[in-house]
Chains A and B, each alone.
Chain A
Amino acid sequence: MSERMIRKAGAFEILNHWALALSFFVLALSGAGFLYHLEGVAALFGGPQGMRGIHNWAGVVFAVSLAGTVFNYLGVSLSFSYDDIDWLMKGGGYLSRKKINVPPQDKINTGQKLYYLGVLFAGGLISASGLAIWLLPGNRELVLASHFVHTLCYAALLFFIPIHIYLATLANPGTVRIMISGTVPLDWARKRHAKWVKKMGYE
C-alpha cells in the first residue's frame, strides 16, 4: 500500500483502551451475573466467590484505565466551538449514508466528545460506588446509595457502550484500525478529522 498514513493513537492510548474495554467486558458480564442471578455466568467465573474476586479486581483495572483516558481525550472533549453545534444539528452525518457536509472535526468528533464525557462521568461513578460497596461495607447509608448508583450507571453504560462499539466497527468500517495499528490513511483522516489533520501540520 502506498497510501500515506497518519498516526491517530499511540501505544499508550491503544493499550489503555484495550485494558478498559476488556475489563469492562468482564465487569459487565459478571455484573449481569450478580444482578440477574445468572448461575451459569457465575460457574464461568469459578463460582460466586470467584466471580466476586474477578469483578472487584477487574474493577480496579477499569478504574485505572479510565483515569488513563483523561490524558488522551479530556482536553479535546472539553473544547467546543460553533462547528460542534453545527455537527449536532446535522446529526453528525452518522445515521444515513447520504453525503452530508458535516463541519470539520477535531481529533474526535462532537458525538465522540459527548460520549467520552458521559462515559467518564458514569464510569467514574460506577468505580467510586463499586469501591465503596467493596471497601466500606459497614457504612449502611453509603452502601445503599452506592448500590443504587452502581446499577444506575450500569444501565447507562450498557446502553451507550454497545452503540459505541457498533459505530466504531460495523457501522464505519476502517475505524477500528485506530485501536489496532493506531494509524489511518491520511485521506480518511482528512474526511473525518479535518481540523486535527490541519493542526498536525498537513495541508
Chain B
Amino acid sequence: MNGVAVEQEIEPQESLASFLRERLRLTGTKVSCDVQVCGACTVLVDGLPVSACTYLAYEARDRDVLTVEGLAPSDGELHPLQRAFLEDNAYQCGFCTSGMLLTAKSLLDTNPTATEEEIVEYMDGNLCRCTGYRPIVAAIKRVQGELA
C-alpha cells in the first residue's frame, strides 16, 4: 500500500474503497457515483487504474496499490502532476482530483507522448463538475512538456 506492506483480514465482499477509507483511514480516495462511471475512486493496482468503489479489496492481495496519498515522493515535495494541477487551477472543489491525478499518472506512465486527442479520450471516464476539463488537459500537457 503506497510502498508499505499491509496485513489485514478482510471480508470477501469488502470494496477496495471502503478498505482504504475505513480500515486504513486513507480518505483521499473519494466515492461518488459508486458504479464505475465517474472515476472519483480511481486508484492504481500494479500500475493499472481500477474503480475502487466496485473492486474487491480481495483483488489487492500481494499487489501494489497506489492512492493519492502515495503520489508525492516525500513530505513537502509534490508529484509533477500535483504541481501542474496547482499551477493550472485544474481543480475547484477537488472531489474528482485524486482520481484525475491517478488516471493521468497511468496514462503518462504508458503513453508519455499522448496527443491531446489521446489525453481527452483516456480521461473521458473521469468526470469533473467544476473545471470544464480544459485546465486538467493543460496540466497533463504541462507535465509532458517537463518530461520532454
Do A and B pair up? The answer is: no
Report A's interface with B, CB cutoff 8 A: none
